[in-house]
Chain A
Amino acid sequence: MSGAFRTPTGGRIDRLHPVSFTFDGRHYSGFRGDTLASALIANGVHLVGRSFKYHRPRGIISAGSDEPNALVGVGRDEAHFTPNLRATQVEIHEGLKAESQNRWPSLAFDAGAINDLASPLLPSGFYYKTFMWPAKAWTTFYEPKIRAMAGLGRAPEAPDADRYSQHYAHCDVLVVGAGPAGLAAALAAAATGARVILCDEQAEMGGSLLASTRSLIDDLPAQKWLAETLATLAAQENVTLLPRTTAFGYFPHNMIALAERVSDHLAVPDPELPRERLWQVRAKEVVLATGALERPLVFPDNDRPGVMLADSARTYVNRYGARPGKRAVVFTACDAGYRAALNLAAVGVEIAAIADLRPSPSGELASRALAAGIEVRPRTVVTGTSGRLRVTGATLARLGPHDLGPAQKVDCDLVLMSGGFTPSVHLFSQSRGKLVWDETLRCYIPGTSVERERSAGASRGLFELGEALEDGYARGAAAAQAARGGSAPARSFATLAVRLGTDGHIGATPHRRNPAFAKAFVDWQNDVTAKDIKLATREGFRSIEHIKRYTTTGMATDQGKTSNMNALGIVSEALKTPVPQIGLTTFRPPFTPTTFGIFAGAARGELFDPARTTPIHGWAVENGALFEDVGNWKRALVFPREGEDLHAAVARECRAVRSSVGLFDASTLGKIEIVGPDAAEFMNRIYTNAWAKLEPGRLRYGVMLREDGFVMDDGVIGRMAPDRFHVTTTTGGAPRVLAHMEDYLQTEWPDLDVWLTSTTEQWAVIAVQGPKAREVLAPLVEAMDISRAAMPHMSVRTGRVAGVPARVFSVSFTGELGFEVNVPAEHGRAVWEAIHASGQKFGITPYGTETMHVLRAEKGYIIVGQETDGTATPDDVNLGWAVGKAKKDFVGKRSLARASMSAPDRKQLVGLLTVDPGVVLEEGAQIVADPNVPVPVPMIGHVTSSYRSAVLGRSIALAMIKGGRARIGSRLFVPMPAGVIEVEVAEPVFYDPKGERFDV
């Protein structure tokens, strides 16, 4: 197919480069520079989709991002498929594959069209009305049926194979829209030396100039002026031009989100280029030159394929060289209809008639139409169209003083409509700017700005070319001046262009058809008719916000670009209330639908989140470890051997630590170096314990509370010197603890001479635990004495281990003799390997976090965040001993004094032993005193930790139970789905209660 509707010459398409593509599997040909819509029109194809609710055949209405109908799915395969793209914005390239939507089995014959006949059963708000019927009908009938019938495109079935990138940008002046006003604004701002970004959603910049045939700017044809202006801007280093870039969101403090379509228009995109790029622009000043959208007219059957906006038809002819039909009826309320008629007539489209709502059209365009022999019918409306998949005729009737005249049918394959222009105030409204009603223009225009922003040109009602250029230049200059000072040279634009005037129409046009069957569409995408809106007002709705939600008008993906004003007009007429008193609904981002990919950017797959690994991670991988996530850290969970399951591996690792020696990577522990003359004083205030008397070289277990007296974190702390502490925190708590400390230091105690430095990643930490720990380490140690006599439990020494400077802690989280060796991170793996080698003769066993958890639970050591939940006092978890009662103050002290903090029925930490030692309780399980009382059974506690203990040969558990310590020795119950488990309350220290194993 060559494009039977293509004009022989003209337009901005590249006729030397034919492009073939498919639509619904059928091959077509267009030219480089075509959109899918223009190429289909050039091939005589208007039927491109089925409507949302009634499945009515639909065609192409517009030529831009306001298109409500022509939504298509595009993509060569499922991994590159995007639904709901506007055919008017899709640029064709060789091999492009597009498909229509919401039709079954085919576009020409769609079973869902039965809804159109059933439409009296689907009035406005029918969706809400179903809620009033039996609830059962909703789940069994309405939801599945509505879901199957409604909707537009389908989601792709394969993961998105494209790349997306994100970019932060800053500029002095961001200009949105590269029509005449935007170009002039960019010229002015750029001339001051300001950093300017000019973006436009279309493939080519120029806006209305791209369809201009007769206008002159500074004595140049408009398109020539455009080319020169773009070249001028492109040559300036301070200007960034972003075509194919939609400003879709206006966020606080002049943050504007732009979606750039980088490579969708290319047949064979460079794989190094992303598909789309998100620009997050922080602009000092913004100029919104977003233009205006043509309003459709609301008359019966105005949705038949072949009915389109007049100025869009003109764009297809002038810009794309595509004739939208052979014989057209024009229905207009303004001069734009005449301009379109003249342009179409110039390329051989027969204009059957111009039906003008106005009583006496006059002016240059009307005269030219009459001179061209076009039949102009003033005071005339279109009351319907005929045809099935394409319009075949329109009925016209003359407006009398009281009624319509007789209907007259006119054959045509194209109906053009123009109700005037509506300024595009979407972004202005998103920026929370206040819109004002302009009675002369009968539209909303930007009023008071909230952000540092100004609108220019048609977007504030200045529709004439000369006005738009002058206004754009002035606003661009003012924006640059406000952003960084400096003024633009004075400049004026000499233009020769037709004036369209300010006529137009808002609301439905009159007809005499049976209102039960005449469908005059207001919102094409959501299938809302004038009748639906009138019904809503009859049912009592007054607020436009309520009417919008009840009828769904303006709620589709096009956000009512073509429908909002007409809906307002209909409500205004129905309620006999002026438009400004009815208000306007809120515009929300995104301006046009935006891909999920662009929001994800590079943050997907392995780059979704940082995977933090320790210096010993590689060794763990090579030695078969399984891992668990702790925050962003990957921690070795267990090191299973060939053929071993998780339980067997953990049991083996536990036995090894208890009987000989184990090796554990504790590098993820949070570490903070607290240094300064007032370090001990600071420690005293932040921790519950007393620190003044801790000697250098000794360790102490510290507990930290929040202001409310509940346990926040814990850890072992070494005093390295009188003015230096080496603090450890929980793995997950490190950033929180540092922020907590900094907060107090900076806001409460700025007088203290002490400073905090995170050293979490400075040190690799290797825990050597078990009765043979000292024998394993001893041969590797230099410049320090780790003998039992010289280095008792809970002390710290500095020296060298395996030749590397080290801080060695004698500390145990297992209950066994233990050391934690801190070495600079880059030496972590080498030192680990040296210790591993040294331990071979004792069968040294690397173990993971699961084994660590079991071993500490056997000793009744809590894990903050597992035993505690932010509501546990130190006493609740048996840490009362760590609270310095004699201390003057510490964070949380006052809260601990509250009576409820020492109430006897608080949940307290206890051990649980199942009566059947083989049963392992479930963590989180609830505990009751008597399972046989009527429900709801009072729950008196919950299981916090539960494991199989190898050394004890039975299960153990820790639990928080109300008044738990007083219940030790008694029996309680854990009801589970499979039956009630009986437990005995026990001391929480199950193994070596006297602590004799630390110092072997």
Chain B
Amino acid sequence: MSDTPNTGTPYPIVPLEALAAASRPGVGASLRLLPAAARLAFRGREAAIGPAGAAFGLELPRTACRFAAAGTRAALWLGPDEWILLAPGESPAPLVETLEAALAGLPHALVDVSSRSVGIEVSGPRAAFVLNQGCPLDLALEAFPVGMCTRTVFAKAEIVLRRTATDIFLIDVWRSFAPYIWQLLEEARRGTG
């Protein structure tokens, strides 16, 4: 056997944390790995939507592709009956308990997906340009304003994309696709200063 470990590909597979640690801020765009967060997938009938928001601490947005935020928490509209409830830095179990108590007897589904995905921040004046190298959506401010979120794709991976400021986008991507996304973003960032 050779000295280099076999990774299943002809290329090194670098863990996301190592990629993030090696990433340098850029003038045009920078990448940052977001800290862990509690993420709950909430689905439900009309009767459950209000109480879910009340228990989570913010009214769940009813406008398509918009998110609402309160403090560090955010609720992302992903479908007419589907939201992702995000609580950075929190542990999911107590949150699940609170919500389930408030939703008892109401038709709904609450699933802990905290570990399913990771968050990546793309920031800087060229952030939209960088993202548009893999994401086919119109990311101009008038078409994708601050406060917007949506499921979309970046190259061959599905992501949830939201804009928290003119120059800041957050990506939520399933864990196993994250290194691929990160490396593509690094590639897309080249030449943006």
Contacts of B191 in A (CB 8 A): 270, 272-274
Q: Nearest residue in B to A626 (C-beta to C-beta)?
A: B6
- CB contact under 8 A between A602 and B6, given known A612-B176, A613-B176: no
A621→B138 contact, CB < 8 A = no
With most chain B CB atoms within 10 A of its CB, the pick from A163, A621, A632, A762 is A762
Contacts of B188 in A (CB 8 A): 165, 602
A272→B112 contact, CB < 8 A = no
User: In whole angstroms, what is the CA distance A760 to B117 when docked?
Assistant: 10
Among listed B50-58, B103-111, B161-169, interface-contacting one = B103-111
B80-119 contacts to A, CB under 8 A, are 81-82, 93, 107-117
A170→B115 contact, CB < 8 A = no
Contacts of A917 in B (CB 8 A): none
A695-737 contacts to B, CB under 8 A, are none
Contacts of B138 in A (CB 8 A): 170, 282
Q: Shortest CB–CB separation between residue B140 and chain A, in angstroms?
A: 7
Contacts of A675 in B (CB 8 A): 43, 109-111
User: In whole angstroms, what is the CA distance A632 to B183 when docked?
Assistant: 16
A166 interface residue per 8 A CB criterion: yes
Contact of B176 among A166, A625, A626, A761 (CB under 8 A): A761
A755→B9 contact, CB < 8 A = no
A415-430 contacts to B, CB under 8 A, are none
B11→A605 contact, CB < 8 A = yes
Q: Nearest residue in A to B110 (C-beta to C-beta)?
A: A675
Contacts of B110 in A (CB 8 A): 675
A629 interface residue per 8 A CB criterion: yes
Contacts of A163 in B (CB 8 A): 187, 190
B24 interface residue per 8 A CB criterion: no
Q: Nearest residue in A to B108 (C-beta to C-beta)?
A: A676
- CB contact under 8 A between A606 and B9, given known A166-B133, A757-B43: yes
A826→B115 contact, CB < 8 A = yes
B68 interface residue per 8 A CB criterion: no
Contact of B115 among A613, A618, A824 (CB under 8 A): A824
Q: Shortest CB–CB separation between residue B154 and chain A, in angstroms?
A: 10
Contacts of B11 in A (CB 8 A): 605-606, 611
Contact of A602 among B135, B155, B174, B175 (CB under 8 A): B155
Contacts of A805 in B (CB 8 A): 93
Q: Nearest residue in B to A165 (C-beta to C-beta)?
A: B133
B107→A753 contact, CB < 8 A = yes
- A268-290 contact mask (Cβ, 8 Å, vs B): 1 or 0: 00101110000010100000000
B115→A762 contact, CB < 8 A = yes
B34 interface residue per 8 A CB criterion: no
- A627-648 contact mask (Cβ, 8 Å, vs B): 1 or 0: 1110011110000101000000
- CB contact under 8 A between A634 and B157, given known A621-B6, A757-B43, A805-B93: no
A170→B176 contact, CB < 8 A = no
Contacts of B7 in A (CB 8 A): 617, 621, 627, 634
Contacts of B82 in A (CB 8 A): 755
A686 interface residue per 8 A CB criterion: no
- A154-186 contact mask (Cβ, 8 Å, vs B): 1 or 0: 000000000101111110000000000000000
User: In whole angstroms, what is the CA distance A797 to B135 when docked?
Assistant: 42
- CB contact under 8 A between A824 and B114, given known A166-B133, A602-B188, A627-B7: yes
User: In whole angstroms, what is the CA distance A615 to B43 when docked?
Assistant: 28
Interface size on B, residues (CB 8 A): 53
B13 interface residue per 8 A CB criterion: yes
B41 interface residue per 8 A CB criterion: yes
Q: Shortest CB–CB separation between residue B77 and chain A, in angstroms?
A: 15
A627→B8 contact, CB < 8 A = yes
A614 interface residue per 8 A CB criterion: yes
Q: Nearest residue in B to A826 (C-beta to C-beta)?
A: B115
B140→A195 contact, CB < 8 A = yes
A66 interface residue per 8 A CB criterion: no
User: In whole angstroms, what is the CA distance A435 to B10 when docked?
Assistant: 51
Contacts of A273 in B (CB 8 A): 190-191
- B1-35 contact mask (Cβ, 8 Å, vs A): 1 or 0: 10001111111010100000000000000000000
User: In whole angstroms, what is the CA distance A168 to B138 when docked?
Assistant: 8
Q: Shortest CB–CB separation between residue A61 and chain B, in angstroms?
A: 36
Contacts of B108 in A (CB 8 A): 676, 755
Contacts of A624 in B (CB 8 A): 1, 5-6
Main secondary structure of the interface of A (DSSP, over half): mixed
User: In whole angstroms, what is the CA distance A105 to B145 when docked?
Assistant: 62
A: contact size bracket: 35 or more
A825 interface residue per 8 A CB criterion: yes
B111→A602 contact, CB < 8 A = no
B115→A606 contact, CB < 8 A = no
A762→B133 contact, CB < 8 A = no
Q: Nearest residue in A to B175 (C-beta to C-beta)?
A: A761
B107→A610 contact, CB < 8 A = no
- A287-315 contact mask (Cβ, 8 Å, vs B): 1 or 0: 00000000000000000000000000000
User: In whole angstroms, what is the CA distance A994 to B137 when docked?
Assistant: 58
Contacts of A760 in B (CB 8 A): 116, 174
Contacts of A763 in B (CB 8 A): 115
- A589-613 contact mask (Cβ, 8 Å, vs B): 1 or 0: 0000000000001110111011111
A335 interface residue per 8 A CB criterion: no
Contact of B180 among A168, A282, A610, A755 (CB under 8 A): A610
Contact of A757 among B111, B133, B136, B137 (CB under 8 A): B111
Contact of B36 among A280, A627, A673, A826 (CB under 8 A): A826
- CB contact under 8 A between A607 and B184, given known A624-B1, A757-B109, A761-B116: yes
Contact of A611 among B1, B9, B184 (CB under 8 A): B9
A996 interface residue per 8 A CB criterion: no
A759 interface residue per 8 A CB criterion: yes
Contact of A272 among B13, B156, B183, B190 (CB under 8 A): B190
- A237-254 contact mask (Cβ, 8 Å, vs B): 1 or 0: 000000000000000000
A803 interface residue per 8 A CB criterion: no
Contacts of A167 in B (CB 8 A): 129, 132-133
- CB contact under 8 A between A762 and B109, given known A165-B133, A607-B183, A611-B180: no
Q: Nearest residue in A to B7 (C-beta to C-beta)?
A: A621
- CB contact under 8 A between A762 and B112, given known A612-B177, A618-B15: yes
Q: Shortest CB–CB separation between residue A15 and chain B, in angstroms?
A: 31
Q: Nearest residue in B to A262 (C-beta to C-beta)?
A: B191
B136→A825 contact, CB < 8 A = no
Contacts of A602 in B (CB 8 A): 133, 155, 184, 187-188
A950 interface residue per 8 A CB criterion: no
- A187-206 contact mask (Cβ, 8 Å, vs B): 1 or 0: 00000000100000000000
B176→A614 contact, CB < 8 A = yes
User: In whole angstroms, what is the CA distance A168 to B135 when docked?
Assistant: 7
- CB contact under 8 A between A621 and B183, given known A626-B6, A762-B116, A763-B115: no
A754 interface residue per 8 A CB criterion: yes
User: In whole angstroms, what is the CA distance A620 to B13 when docked?
Assistant: 12
A761→B41 contact, CB < 8 A = no
B115→A825 contact, CB < 8 A = yes
Contacts of B190 in A (CB 8 A): 163, 272-274
Q: Shortest CB–CB separation between residue B82 and chain A, in angstroms?
A: 8
Q: Nearest residue in A to B176 (C-beta to C-beta)?
A: A612
Contact of B6 among A282, A627, A825 (CB under 8 A): A627
Contact of A603 among B140, B155, B176, B177 (CB under 8 A): B155
Extra pairs beyond A274-B191, A627-B6 (11, CB < 8 Å): A167-B129, A167-B133, A170-B143, A606-B10, A610-B157, A613-B8, A621-B7, A625-B6, A626-B6, A675-B109, A759-B113
The 18 listed contacts between A and B (C-beta, < 8 Å) are: A167-B129, A169-B132, A272-B191, A607-B155, A610-B156, A611-B13, A618-B15, A621-B5, A627-B6, A629-B8, A635-B8, A673-B111, A675-B110, A676-B43, A761-B115, A761-B117, A761-B176, A763-B115
Pick the 5 closest A-B CB pairs, nearest first: A627-B8, A634-B8, A675-B109, A606-B11, A755-B109
Residues of A within 8 A of B (CB): 163, 165-170, 195, 270, 272-274, 280, 282, 601-603, 605-607, 609-615, 617-618, 621-622, 624-629, 632-635, 640, 642, 673, 675-677, 753-755, 757-763, 805, 824-826
